[in-house]
Amino acid sequence: MKLMKKMMMATAMTVAAPMALSTPAMADEFPLKAGDYTTMTGIYLEDGGGTAYATYLASEWKKNQDFAKSKGWISDYKIFYNVDRRDGEPMLYLTQTFPSMPSGAEIEKRDKEWEEFDKRTNAQLDAASGNRAKFRKVTGSMTLQEAKIR
């Protein structure tokens, strides 16, 4: 019980200290500003699917990310291993970083450019995605926005 009280007191002090120490200049300007967005998609790999998925990432996925980057739609992309994975968590995370959310009209424009670049029909794209389902499962995604210190 004493430990719980100490933890609650430490939390309260952590929250209250910046407020007590703020200056008039800080009060006028919020200390954080909005930065770029990053989408993060979790991937679970089926047993024996590591090499097949790594091959896909190093070829087709990379080609698509490089195209999006060349168009300025994204500024970066990365693959992360989940090193300290807990039960039920994804094994890999795929990320894309971009400066702003596209409008509906921009999405339609990009779709047309993508079709010209990829040269595959929707049926072919669906089939390719279905083939990847044999060795990987998308476990979910989220979009984060960076908070930059002024």
Question: What pLDDT digit, counting tens, does each position of 83-139 carry?
Answer: 999 999 999 999 999 999 999 999 999 989 988 898 877 788 778 777 788 889 999
Q: Give the pLDDT band of residue 14 (cuts 50, 70, 90).
A: very low
Angle at 114 between CA 69 and CA 130, to 5 degrees: 105
Q: Give the pLDDT band of residue 55 (cuts 50, 70, 90).
A: very high
Closest by Cα among 52, 139, 128 to 91: 139
DSSP state of 91: S
Q: Give the pLDDT band of residue 24 (cuts 50, 70, 90).
A: low
Q: Residue ranges per domain, the chain? A: 30-149
Contact 92, 141 (CB under 8 A): no
Mean pLDDT of 21-25: 54
CATH class of 30-149: alpha beta
Query: pLDDT at position 72, please?
Result: 97
Q: Which residue has the higher pLDDT, 49 or 146?
A: 146
